[in-house]
Amino acid sequence: MAKTQDAATRGAAATTAPAFECDPETKRRIVNRLKRARGQLDAVIDAAERGASCKETITQLSAVTHALNRAGFVIVASAMRNCVDAEQAASAGDGGAGAAADEAVAPAMTVDELEKIFLSLV
């Protein structure tokens, strides 16, 4: 019964979580990466069905994994960017309270910059 409650809790959390939002260019990049992964997964399935060599199958499987990871990284970077934007908007909304008057506000990082930082962690 605990599994049922856990699933119900996860379902409730999923329905209350905010929707993933990103700019059209980022969305295009994510969808392209996922489509690439789908094509590579089709190649893995084809290799398995026709009895291809282990090397060929593993190479294709590695490509799928890499494509999915890259799509995930773009999603995470975009989410990080949204958090940074929200924080900067909140700071701007309070008149810069807590910041020195002569302190320059750092320019926002691009999604690509955030993605590179995230990729350096893995």
CATH of the domain at 37: 1.20.58.1000
Report if residue 119 sits inside a domain.
Answer: no
Report if residue 39 sits inside a domain.
Answer: yes
* pLDDT tens digits, 49-96: 999 999 999 999 999 998 888 888 888 888 777 777 777 777 777 555
Q: Look at the chain and report how many structural domains it folds into.
A: 1
Report if residue 72 sits inside a domain.
Answer: yes
8 versus 74: which is more confidently predicted? 74
Radius of gyration of the chain (CA): 21
Report if residue 77 sits inside a domain.
Answer: yes
Name the range with the highest mean pLDDT among 9-23, 77-91, 106-120: 77-91
Lowest mean pLDDT among 16-20, 52-56, 111-115, 116-120: 16-20
Report if residue 59 sits inside a domain.
Answer: yes
Structure tokens at 84: 């940074």
